[in-house]
């Protein structure tokens, strides 16, 4: 486990993926696949973030995500990753991870899986923008510099 060296520059409530742009800026062009958890309180304010691994979606451990979530005492979380191939479209592995997290958070009940965001270059894909699904019909969006 490693400490994050990315400053928590998220100001105000996180209710859309554009709020996460500056936070992910340093990772969006990275050649290394990385997962970052952003943990939010009842008012959608960031209470912490953590790099959860330099791995691909198929190797991601949900247990580590949930441990940090409980340690920080958040209500909801956003899981962010980067695709090193420049395509922010979710892969089959991303879809499986999203489905797994949706099932586990329904069982746990007190945790809300708020969003899964994939960044690649200047584009992103957000589960939240796609109405909470990882369907094959999703589209990439361009980051706005808000």
Quick check: is 56 in a domain?
yes
pLDDT bucket at 8, cuts 50 / 70 / 90: low
> Per the domain annotation, does 55 fall within a domain?
yes
Interatomic CA distance for residues 90 and 99, integer angstroms: 12
pLDDT at 92: 92
| pLDDT of 113 over the 50 cut | yes
Structure token pair of residue 108:
């746990």
Q: Say if 8 falls within a structural domain.
A: no
1: in domain: no
pLDDT higher than threshold 70 for residue 138: no
Strand stretches in 11-75, DSSP E? 35-40, 46-53
- DSSP 3-state of 22: helix
Per-residue pLDDT, 79: 93
Q: Would residue 9 count as lying in a domain?
A: no
86 lies in some domain: yes
CA distances from 143 to 4, 31, 50, 85 (A): 23, 19, 22, 17
- The structural domain count of the chain equals 1
CATH code of the domain containing 81: 3.40.140.10
Q: Are 42 and 75 in contact (CB under 8 A)?
A: yes
Least confident stretch, 4-13, 48-57, 83-92, 116-125? 4-13
Enclosing domain of residue 69? 17-142
CB proximity list for 18: less than 8 A, separation 6 or greater: 143, 144, 146
Give the residue, 18 or 44, on which the prediction is more confident: 44
User: What is the DSSP track for 63-79?
Assistant: HHHHHHHHHHT-SEEEE
State pLDDT tens for residues 39-89: 999 898 888 888 899 999 999 989 989 888 888 888 999 999 999 988 888
The per-residue pLDDT for 131 is 59
Work out the number of other CB atoms within 10 angstroms of the CB of residue 35. Answer: 23
Spatial strand order of the sheet with 76-82 comes to: 46-53, 35-40, 76-82, 112-120, 123-126, 141-142
pTM for this predicted structure? 0.82
Flag whether 37 is in a domain. yes
pLDDT score, position 139: 52
Position 136 confidence tier, pLDDT thresholds 50, 70, 90? very low
pLDDT at 81: 93
């Amino acid at each position: 486990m490693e400490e994050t060296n990315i400053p928590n520059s998220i100001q105000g409530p996180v209710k859309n993926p554009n709020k996460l742009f500056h936070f992910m800026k340093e990772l969006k062009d990275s050649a290394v696949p990385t997962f970052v958890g952003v943990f939010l309180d009842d008012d959608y304010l960031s209470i912490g973030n953590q790099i959860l691994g330099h791995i691909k979606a198929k190797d991601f451990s949900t247990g580590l995500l949930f441990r940090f979530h409980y340690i920080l005492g958040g209500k909801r979380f956003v899981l962010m990753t980067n695709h090193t191939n420049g395509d922010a479209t979710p892969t089959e592995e991303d879809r499986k991870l999203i489905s797994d997290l949706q099932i586990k958070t329904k069982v746990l009940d007190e945790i809300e899986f708020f969003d899964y965001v994939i960044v690649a270059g200047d584009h992103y894909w957000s589960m939240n923008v796609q109405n909470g699904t990882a369907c094959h019909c999703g589209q990439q969006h361009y980051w706005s510099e808000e």
